[in-house]
Every structure is written in C-alpha cells, then in structure tokens.
Amino acid sequence: MPKSKFASTMKNRVKLENDIKQKFPVNQLWDWQSKQTHRPVFVLHDGPPYANGPLHLGHFLNKIQKDIIVRYKLLAGHRIDFRLGWDCHGLPIELKALQKNKTKSTNEDPLTIRQLARQFASETLEKQKTELQSWGILADWNNCYRTFDKGYIIDQIRLFWKLYQKGLLYRQYKPVNWSPTVQSALAESELEYNNKHQSTAIYIRFRLKNDDSLSQLLPQTSLENVYALIWTTTPWSLVANQAVAVNENFKYLFVKFPSTNDTYIIAEPLLNNIKQYPPFSNEQFEIIGDCRGSQLTKVKYCHPIYQDQATTYPIVISDHVTSELGTGLVHIAPAHGADDFLLSMKHNLQCVNAVNLTGHLHCPTIESLHNRNALDPNDGIQSILKHLNSNVLHHYQLTHSYPYDWREKKPVLILGSQQWFIDTARLRDRACKAISDEVKIYPEGGGKSFLSMTARRPYWCISRQRCWGVPIPVFYTKDEKNELVVNEDIIEYLIKCVQEKGSIDFWWSADDIKDLLPKSMHDQAENLVRANDIFDVWFDSGSSFYSLLKDFNYQADLYCEGHDQFNGWFLSSLLLSTGFQSRAPFSNIFVHGFVVDKNNQKMSKSIGNVIEPSHMIYGGGKERFLENGFDVCREWVTRESYKQQCKASAEDLGKAYKRVYEIRNVLKFLLGNLYDYQVDKHSVPVENLTAVDQYMAYRLHQVLTTFHNDFDQYRMYHGLITAETFIQTDVSSFYCSVTKDRLYCNPPDSHLRRSTQTVFYLLLKCLNERLAPVMPYLAQELHNELSVLNHKEEKINDIFENQFTFLERALTDISPELASAIVIVFHLRDTFHKMLQNRRAILCDIVLYLSDKAKVQLKQVKDVLGRHPSTVDMKIWQPLEELLQCSRVKQRSLSDLETDLTEENISSVDLPLIVLISVVRYKQRGHIPDHLVEHHRQSPLGKAKAGAAVGVSPPKDEKNPNLRTTPHDFKYVYPDFLPNPIPYLRDRILEKLERKDMFRRRQQIDIPEFYVGSVLAVTSADPYAPNRRNRFVGICIQRERHGLKHQFTLRNIVDGVGVEIIYELYNPTITKIEVLKLERRLDENLAYLRDAPPEYCTFPFDMEPVKLPPGSGVPLNTIQVPITSTHWQYKWERHDLKGVVLPKLPRSVGKASDRYSQPWRQWDIMRQYRTEIHDDDRAEIYEDIEKHKQDLAQYRIDSKENVKITRTRQKAAGRKAILDDAPKANRPSSSTSQ
C-alpha cells in the first residue's frame, strides 16, 4: 500500500508556505541565478505601479503573473533580469501628501511640497515593497528603481535632450485638456468620460451684418433681422468666439418668422431636428431662400457677447461640421477646441481664452460675467444666459459624455496655453511599423487595438504646471518674444548638479539664475527665466527603458501589464523609444484583464466591493474567503488573467482550491507508491516497459510538448489546463486505476511493478516541475520528498535551481501497432463503462462476440499488449482485463450470438474488431467472484492477512472530513409507511389499504433509498404535454406527511434564485427517481438551507452519481451550515438544530428564550406519546415491507423470464417466416425426398 509523509490535506497552508519561504528565500535564489552567467538572459521590464496607496487585487494579479513567467523562464534555463520599480511623481501623490499634512498647495512653496510628496511616496513605496516581498515575488529586490532617484532623473533629462535634438519636441500655444481643480494640463490618458454629465445646451442667434454680401443672397428682402442660428453645449466658450464654421457642401435655408420678421440660417438636413424646439415648434415659418455653404464665406456677423456692431467676424469653411446634431453652423473658439485651433491657424484667427486657469470667466470688459465659475450652471452659465437675453432662443439640460479628470472626478476644460509637445505626427508611422513587424502581443487580438490606438494618437502634451516632478530643463527670455533657450552645455551642467546634490530640488531652491547655468552663460542670466513646467508622469515612466535597459540594447523581452496600458505605459514607452532608436522597447507584450467582483462589476470603494489580497490569501473579508494560501491564488491568477474580466469571488477561489486539492491527492498517490523505489537501482529500461506504461510515457511527452508551446507563447492558462486535465483524467482516472492491482498485489521486485514505478517517477518529476511556476510551494514540498526518496545526502536545493526534465528519445514516440491497439482498447473501455451504469466494473465479465476477421485482429492486439518481456508470463487476457478493470474477458464466436441472446446488456462497438460485447453482472450484491478472491489470496497483500475470508473495508472519503457512516434505519428509509403518531388521527384499516396501493406503485417505479440531505434527480411527466419530461436536481430538505400523501421537497439554486419543488412520492406522473448522492444530515429537516449561503444547496443539473462501496453504511454528513438570517425573524435557535451555525445569538440564549416562550413544554408528559410510533406498530409495518420486497424481487425475475421467452419465440417465428418465403428450389430437402 502507498506510504508517504506528503499530506493530502491542505489545512494550515499559509503556515507551511511561510516555512518554505524561510527555508528557501527568494533573495538566495536570486543571488544564485544571477551567477549563472553562461545562461541566456530573459528581461522582463516591470511597469512601475503608483506609490500613492495600498496594493490592491489588480497589483496582486499583475505581480503574480510576472512571477509565474519569471519562474518558468528560470526552469527553462534562462538567467533573469527583473527589477521592480515605482512611479513616484505626479499630482495624485502631491495632493495626498498635502491632504495628509492638512495643507493646500497654494499656501506652500514648491520645496515644501516636494519634501512632503517625497516623504509620502517613500513611505508608501516601502509599505508596498514589504507586502510584495510577502507574496514571494522572485525579483532583484536590492536594485529596485524609483522615478525620483537621481540616476533615473539624469537619464530622463538625457532622453529629453536627444529627442529635442531630433526635432521631436517643441513648445507651442495649443488648446489642451485643463483641470481647473488642480490647475494643470492633462494628457488624453488622464481622462475618463462621464456618460451622465449634464451640460446646458442652448440655441443662440448671431446677427449677420447688413451688407452687399448678404443682400446678394437675399435680394428684395429686409436685412435688419437676419441671424445665424447656433447650437452649443459650452455657453462659456462664447466669450472666446472668433468665427462661425459651415460645411461648403450643405444646402442652407433662410427661414423667416412673419410674426417677428426674423430670419434664420439653418442647414437643410437639420431643419426637422429643431422643429421640436421654440420658436419653430409654436410659430409658423416660411423658407424665403437658400444657398450653398460656400456662398456664406463672404458674410460677416456681430459678436453675440460684446455686441459691437463695428467689429465683425467671418464665416469659414470646415469639414468637421456635420449633419448629426445642431444647426449646421458651429461657433469657433480657437482656444477651446482642437478643430477650432486648426481653423485659426488656417484663417489667421485670434486665440483668446474665455476662462482663466481656475476655470472662471475672463471677461474684464463685462463686469456681470468676469470671474464667474464657467462650469457652474447657477453661476457662470446663468450669467451668460442673462447677458445674452433674447438672443437665446431656447436652452435645456443635455445628458451626454464629457471628459473628467480621472483622479479628481471633476469636469475639465479645453484651454489654450503654451505647452511642450511630442511630435506624434512624425512618430506614428514608425511606431505602427514597429508594432506590426517587431512586436508580438499576447493574447492574440490585442495587436489590432494597440495599432489603431497608436495610429489615432493626437499630439502628446508632456508638460504639467506643478512642482512634484522632473522639471523641463529649459529657459526663456524675459522679453515679449519669450524665446526658448536650451543647449548641450546647460543639459550637462544640470546633470552634473543632480549628480552632486542627489536631487533636482535645486531647480526651485536656487535664488540666483546663475546657479542653474554654466559659467559660459552667466552673462545672459539677467535676461533669462527658468521653466516652471514639469514632465508628464507618462514621460517619467515611459522613459524607463532608457534608464534600465542600457545593458540589453534598450529592449526588453517582455512587457506585462493590464490592457488599459495600451493607451498608457505601452504607448508612451513605444513613442519615446521609436523617437530615440526607431524601434520598440519590447519584443513581446502580454496583456491581462481587470479584476471584477462576482457580479462582474469593477471594484470600487464607493460600491464597497473591494477585495483585499490578504483576504483572498489568509481568509476573511466580506466574501468570507477560506484560508487558500498562495498556491491556490496563483492557480486562480493563471486561469483568469488572460480574460478581459478576471472574476474574483469565494466561489471562484473555491474552485481553484478544489483543483489544487485534487492535484495534490494524485501526486500523493504517485509518491506513496514509490516508497521502495530508487532511480539508480529499480528503473526499467525503455524497451522493457509494459504497453500501458510505454503508452503513458508517450502521453506524458505529448502533454509536456503542449505545455511548453503554450508557456513559450504566453498562453499560461492553456498550458496549466492541459497539465491539470492530464493529471485528473489520464493519470488519475485511467493510469492509477489500471495499475493498482500490480502495485498492491504483485511481489515488490516484480517486473510489472517496477515498470509502473519507473513511469510513476517520470510522471511525478516532470509534472511537478511544470506545476512549479504556478504552485511553487506545493512543488518545493514534493521536491523535498523526492530528494529524500532518492536518499540524497547533500543538502536539498531549491527546485528552481534545477532545469526542466525531459524524456528519453525512445519514450517520445510509440510504434504504430501499439498506438492502434491502444485506440481499440480505449474504444472498448468506453463502451464497457457506458454499459456498466451503476455497477462496479470489477464485478463484471466481458464477453466478446468476434467474427473470423475480428479474431485475427484481436490476436494482433493481444500480441502487442503482451509483447514486452514483463508480460510474457501473463495470462492471455490479463493485459486487457487490467486495462478494462473488469473481472474476466471471454471470447466467443459470432455464430454463438443467436443462442446467447438471453444475455443482458448487448451493445455494439463502432470498430471492425469487435462486433458485439455483453456484460455479465454478478447478481448478489457485494459478492466477489471466486477467481478474484483466489487472485487476492495468492498476492503478497492477501498472504499477509489472516483468515480465509478477505475483508475489504470501505475507503475513507478524505475529501470531506465531515463524513462518517451510519446504519440503515427503517425510520429513515421508509418514513412514508409510518402512520400519523397522533392517535386520534389514525385509521388502521385505511393505513393497510394505502400500504397495498403503495406496494403496487413501487412495482411500477423503482423508489430508491434516500434521506433528508440526499441529492436526487426526479423526472416527471407533464400532464399538459404528453411527450415531454421534466427533470429537476436538488437536495432533499424535508420529508413530510404519511402514507400515499407522503411528499418530499427538493431545493436548488438556479441562476441565483432558490427553487423548491414539492413532489408527492406516489404521484403517477413521476417516472424516475435517481439518487445522485446518498447521505444523511444531522437534522431531519433542512428548511434552514433557505437562510444559508447559496453554495450549500447549489448542484449542477449534469451532476454525476456518487458511487458508494458495496456493503457500506449510509454516509452521515456532519457539516454545520452558517445561517445568514437574523434570529428574531426566523428563530432557528429554538429548534435545537445540530447542523447549523447560528449568527450572533448563542444557542444557550435561544434555549432560554424557548423556555420562557413555551414554559408548559417541560410539564407536557404526553409529548412522547404524541410524537413516536409504538414498537408493535413499527414491527407490523416492517413485516409488510419485507414481504413486499421479496414479492417484488420475484416479480422482476418472472418479468425477465417472460421477456426472454418472448424474444426466443419471436426469433423462431422470424426464422420460420424466412423459410416460408424462400423459393422451393432453394429449400433444403431431405434425403428420402431425393
């Protein structure tokens, strides 16, 4: 029998894993692998997380995924370069630092802010680093990088200078996304769009100038009240209006209102859209003329805000005017829109800001508007509407998508200002070519979206108006020209200062500008001013390749982040790298998904669905996680990370826990059967392995090949699924089952046993190494056991100091004859198992009916299976019996089939080899065939046991520690036959009559033994649809009522809803009752499952039956279910239940309340009499049931005999009919007639 110290239980996993961490620390492993200079280097460049708060589940998924890749590459023979980093600059850190110190940035000087921000980032970084180290991440912990380190800042400044020299950086006045809240420009990647934002949309009229250009379009018409009708959702931007744009191809109508004599210009396609708004909705109008958009360019209009008739503004042509919304005329404010700004460049329009840096209107000439909050509908917007007065024809609230500052969750403005930009127009083609030609993106499909994002990328604003960051190292002249001053001498001098002083703080602390300039430029210092802008944080993190990948030609083997980084770190790194070296900084990208909760919702503190990594690992939290440990969590990461949404819930972690548990048990079985095996002494040569062992080694080779292909292509999830499926099916269900006999019963040194042990060792070693990247602690634990098994005297090493083990070449292929024989055997095995139904294979014989041709083919199969030296002493059918796990295989001719038709369970196999097979079952339950008993007695295991009889104890269910067995009890087996215990409700004659009806019904349908707590599948006919059947699966939560009215209730959770069906046991519409899992619970009524978590009564409708060993008792499940409902509503504490865990209220309190609420119960001396059945009555009912069981058994035997007789007669009649229909010439004649 197997012997091993390797525990099957997964209790105290965290403690065990922590012990392994202490014995095999990652720092020690990192130092060892760093010295393996002969190995090729694999570079994984870590995207720096933000040092502004605690780590969340997204960080956990990302770092564990990277660790899995690193450990795989290490076992594959690489040396690893993996340095963790942190993004330490930027506005979020600055604001949190100020918030922590209860100060405002406006009240602090830049140096104080930088000091507070650096301290906050450093403290947060150290906390994150400590937690990351507790996760067991294999990385270079002594050389982590931080974006505020002096070396990193120096490299960033150098990269800036190189890009500037190439003309890829420039400073220009442009409209940018501006956050009034933090008073800084924002990049596109720093925005999020709020689909529920409400803006004030207005229809406003611009008066056209009465001149010759207008009179040519409207001859013989009064031109005093002609207007351009404008629609806008940003009324505040009207202050900066400089033009009106039209589409040159649109047809524009002149619409006149006779009541007011006003005329409006509107695009014809949009006339119907505005008919719902006044004045179009409530007044009559007429069309008095039309023109093309190109004809309007000579017309001028007066400004709607300033209303200066002397100053006019142009109407210009623009392609961005569409017919989807508005009026077909768009007001142009160059400082507040990208398209508007381009038009201003083309038509030489003035750029004027309508608002200042704080988001307030800048309109000094109009006191009622100046310094009003532009975005506040009750302040700035209301003031504008009041000022415009009658020129506003209609206004309303429009809900639409609007950009928000993703950090502050506040709306942003588009504001014109002088900013630094990267010339993405020159880089886009190079970047797209790099993606297409050089970079592989996993999972496949992500490359298209990355390519489209890169191709659509607008200009990148890299300057920010804050102080916590790296300053843009340039100067400007003090004169009106404000010219840029920067050169190589300035750059080198600043780099030298950073090197000497350790930081860039001197940029703000220097009182004299000369301190920032080389001596050669001191004479210009009086005319210069330093830049007040800092680099965008995406420039900070995107330049990490230049700082960290110098030794690897500025390119990493892999970048691995979430899919949101396509528009973030991936793109910023790509643009900077293509600008620097015309290629990507990565050769591969692996993208993982976002973590969501069980309802597929994004995790948010406001929603309250955030899951802490510690809860998932150590247990607890709102989800009530178990103590899963790291291996289980890493298995979950591997299976989920490739999805767009990675669901994290107690249910999903429970599935991962179960998978790891099952794998552990299979590996324990393999290890336990190697207790007397030594590789150097007992290994069997490849050519002497048995057929099944050789086949299993070949299957192992196939799985290893698939596994490595998947991991090399970063399909870790698929590689893991392949390995796990192989372990659970090929190894556990098939190989371990068919080899148990030779392992337990053959002599220890027999060739058969050593052959299997050889393959067991290969399976264990190879599979353990492949599981190691995902489950390093389980793998190390098993590696330790294997090292002890091989009696290694040297110190046990870390499993990751080894390399993957591969099979000998001779095991990587099998002969065509063996492959063909195995295919035939598996087809036969599948058919045999389908025919077994609920019977045990070992108690069945197989009869093969073969044609002459099939006999030849079967002989070839037997020859192949018995060809190996280890099988020459076997009986002729023994290899086949072993593979099929049956009692005996018999062979008969096809001609014997007609006389053997009385055999039951005839089935065909879709192969030319076997025509028909029959399964012969041993009738007596629990009977073991004599030849199996004799085989067992002759084995070493049987000889070691005393006594003639061989006792086989039922196996213990190690998976469920709550399970034990109880004897079959009449009270629970047949509760439907028990009468009502209340005497005055009993009628003995009626009870006997009902029992007879119940016995008749039991002859028509097999009513199996089941209990409250058993899982059943009930199939019933639909009275309203004769040809339909309904099948429901659920746990029996209660059995109630008596006699023919007896009923039971099944409960299951279907699509998150509790479903209960009450069945009458003897209802004729029930066609079948199946027991999928036979067991009892501690209580006779499980109605409290309605108030328990759903996992306690959720069962799949395709659930396979759980088989019990013959002769075993009824399993008693002692699990205690937590109750979620409050005690004062349902009062479960008053029922004296044993199978529940009550919330909050102690059981003693419940009993006390029960005592006070019903004090008379302790004096109720007739209670027992009213609730129990007298022993004499029970004996009488039991006698009737026993007699019924005997009658039913005889009835079924007679029924089978009748079926056999009927079949024989039918066949005889069929043969006679064939003879009668045949021509007389062909009939056989007797000798006398001749």
Residue 257 forms part of a structural domain = yes
Q: Show which of 519, 548, 577 is a domain's final residue.
A: 548
Q: Mean per-residue pLDDT for 978-998? A: 77
pLDDT of 900? 57
pLDDT digits (tens, 9 = 90+) for 1074-1108: 999 999 898 888 988 888 888 888 999 989 998 88
Q: Are residues 1004 and 1145 in the same domain?
A: yes
CA-based radius of gyration for the chain: 42
pLDDT of 866? 65
- The string of DSSP codes covering 421-479 is EE-HHHHHHHHHHHHHHT-EEESTTHHHHHHHHHHH---EE-EES-SSS-B---EEESS
pLDDT of 235? 94
The secondary structure of 879-936, three-state, reads HHHHHHCCCEEEEEEHHHHCCCCCCCCEEECCCCCCCEEEEEECCCCCCCCHHHHHHH
What is the C-alpha to C-alpha distance for residues 1180 and 1137, in angstroms, rounded to an integer? 31
| Of 1055 and 803, more confident | 803
In 3D space, the residue among 969, 1011, 966, 978 whose CA is nearest the CA of residue 1171 turns out to be: 978
pLDDT digits (tens, 9 = 90+) for 295-308: 999 999 999 898 77
Q: What amino acid is encoded at 281 in this protein?
A: S
| Of 241 and 310, more confident | 241
Residue 52 forms part of a structural domain = no
pLDDT for residue 947 is more than 50: no
Provide the CB-side half-sphere exposure for 136 (13 A, CA). 25
User: What is the distance, to the nearest Å, from the Cα of residue 1092 to the centroid of all Cα atoms in its chain?
Assistant: 26
In 3D space, the residue among 1121, 1061, 1065, 1131 whose CA is nearest the CA of residue 1097 turns out to be: 1121
| Of 910 and 305, more confident | 305
List C-alpha distances in Å: 1061 to 322, 1006, 1016, 1046: 60, 20, 12, 14
Count of CB atoms within 10 A of residue 1089's CB? 24
Q: Show which of 494, 521, 548 is a domain's final residue.
A: 548
Question: What percent of the chain is predicted at pLDDT more than 90?
Answer: 43
Q: What amino acid is encoded at 887 in this protein?
A: S
Report DSSP state, residue 328: S
**Three-state secondary structure call for residue 520:** helix
pLDDT of 505? 95
For residues 991 and 1043, is the Cβ–Cβ distance under 8 A? Answer: yes
Q: Mean per-residue pLDDT for 469-487? A: 92
Q: How confident is the model at residue 958 (pLDDT cuts 50, 70, 90)?
A: very low
List C-alpha distances in Å: 417 to 335, 336, 340, 354, 785: 8, 10, 14, 12, 68
Q: Are residues 1025 and 1169 in the same domain?
A: yes
Buried b (16+ CB within 10 A) or exposed e, 1039-1078: beebbbebebbbbbbeeeeeebeebebbeeebeebbbbbb
Q: Mean per-residue pLDDT for 334-357? A: 89
Residue 248 forms part of a structural domain = yes
The secondary structure of 692-754, three-state, reads HHHHHHHHHHHHHHHHHHHHHCCCHHHHHHHHHHHHHHHHHHHHHHHHHHHHHHCCCCCHHHH
Q: Show which of 882, 903, 937 is a domain's final residue.
A: 937
Q: Are residues 712 and 857 in the same domain?
A: no
Measured distance between the N- and C-terminal CA atoms of the chain, rounded to whole angstroms: 73
Q: Are residues 1149 and 1013 in the same domain?
A: yes
Q: Is 1021 exposed, middle or buried (0-12, 13-18, 19+ CB in 10 A)?
A: middle
pLDDT of 1015? 95
Residue 634 forms part of a structural domain = no
Q: Are residues 857 and 719 in the same domain?
A: no
Most confident of 24-38, 105-119, 416-430: 24-38
What is the C-alpha to C-alpha distance for residues 1120 and 1088, in angstroms, rounded to an integer? 11
What is the C-alpha to C-alpha distance for residues 543 and 546, in angstroms, rounded to an integer? 6
| Of 1035 and 692, more confident | 1035
Q: Are residues 1160 and 1193 in the same domain?
A: no
Q: What amino acid is encoded at 268 in this protein?
A: E
In 3D space, the residue among 933, 696, 164, 843 whose CA is nearest the CA of residue 473 turns out to be: 164
pLDDT of 943? 47
Q: How confident is the model at residue 499 (pLDDT cuts 50, 70, 90)?
A: very high
**Three-state secondary structure call for residue 820:** helix
Identify any residues that bridge with 460 across adjacent strands, giving them in sequence order: 422
Q: Mean per-residue pLDDT for 821-848? A: 72
What is the C-alpha to C-alpha distance for residues 636 and 648, in angstroms, rounded to an integer? 9
Residue 957 forms part of a structural domain = no
Provide the CB-side half-sphere exposure for 359 (13 A, CA). 21
pLDDT digits (tens, 9 = 90+) for 188-218: 767 889 999 999 999 999 999 888 888 888 8
Report DSSP state, residue 562: E
Q: Are residues 996 and 859 in the same domain?
A: no
Q: Are residues 1070 and 1081 in the same domain?
A: yes
> At residue 1075, what are phi and psi to the nearest 5 degrees?
-100, 110
pLDDT of 1093? 86
Residue 611 forms part of a structural domain = no
Least confident of 175-184, 804-813, 919-928, 1160-1169: 919-928
Q: What amino acid is encoded at 1215 in this protein?
A: R
Q: How confident is the model at residue 1177 (pLDDT cuts 50, 70, 90)?
A: low
Helices and strands (DSSP H and E) totals, the chain: 36, 43
In 3D space, the residue among 331, 338, 412 whose CA is nearest the CA of residue 174 turns out to be: 338
pLDDT of 918? 53
pLDDT digits (tens, 9 = 90+) for 436-457: 999 999 998 777 889 888 888 8
Q: Are residues 982 and 1117 in the same domain?
A: yes
pLDDT digits (tens, 9 = 90+) for 49-61: 999 889 999 999 9
Q: In what order do the strands lie in the sheet with 460-461?
A: 184-186, 169-179, 413-422, 460-461
Instruction: Please work out, in degrees rounded to the nearest 5, the angle formed at the alpha carbon of residue 224 by the alpha carbons of 222 and 230.
Output: 110
pLDDT of 81? 97
In 3D space, the residue among 929, 912, 909, 930 whose CA is nearest the CA of residue 920 turns out to be: 929
Q: How confident is the model at residue 871 (pLDDT cuts 50, 70, 90)?
A: very low
What is the C-alpha to C-alpha distance for residues 529 and 484, in angstroms, rounded to an integer? 10
Q: Are residues 803 and 846 in the same domain?
A: no
| Of 862 and 234, more confident | 234
Report DSSP state, residue 378: T
- How many structural domains compose the chain? 6
pLDDT of 927? 44
pLDDT of 638? 95
CATH of the domain at 684: 1.10.730.20
Helix axes 737-745, 751-771, angle to 10 degrees: 130
CATH of the domain at 371: 3.90.740.10
Q: What amino acid is encoded at 936 in this protein?
A: H
The pair of structure tokens assigned to 1052 is 């299951």
pLDDT of 1233? 33
| Of 837 and 62, more confident | 62
Q: Are residues 923 and 856 in the same domain?
A: yes
Q: Are residues 1114 and 1005 in the same domain?
A: yes
Region class of 105: left (phi > 0), else alpha (psi between -120 and 50), else beta = alpha
Q: Mean per-residue pLDDT for 661-690? A: 89
Q: Mean per-residue pLDDT for 270-290? A: 83
pLDDT of 613? 94
Q: Mean per-residue pLDDT for 1170-1181? A: 63
pLDDT for residue 1226 is more than 80: no
**Three-state secondary structure call for residue 395:** strand
Question: What percent of the chain is predicted at pLDDT more than 70?
Answer: 82
List C-alpha distances in Å: 878 to 704, 874, 943, 1031: 30, 6, 21, 42
Q: Is 683 exposed, middle or buried (0-12, 13-18, 19+ CB in 10 A)?
A: middle
Q: Mean per-residue pLDDT for 382-405? A: 91
Q: How confident is the model at residue 278 (pLDDT cuts 50, 70, 90)?
A: confident
Domain residues for the domain of 1194 are 1176-1221
Least confident of 115-129, 155-169, 307-321: 307-321
Residue 624 forms part of a structural domain = no
Residue 556 forms part of a structural domain = no
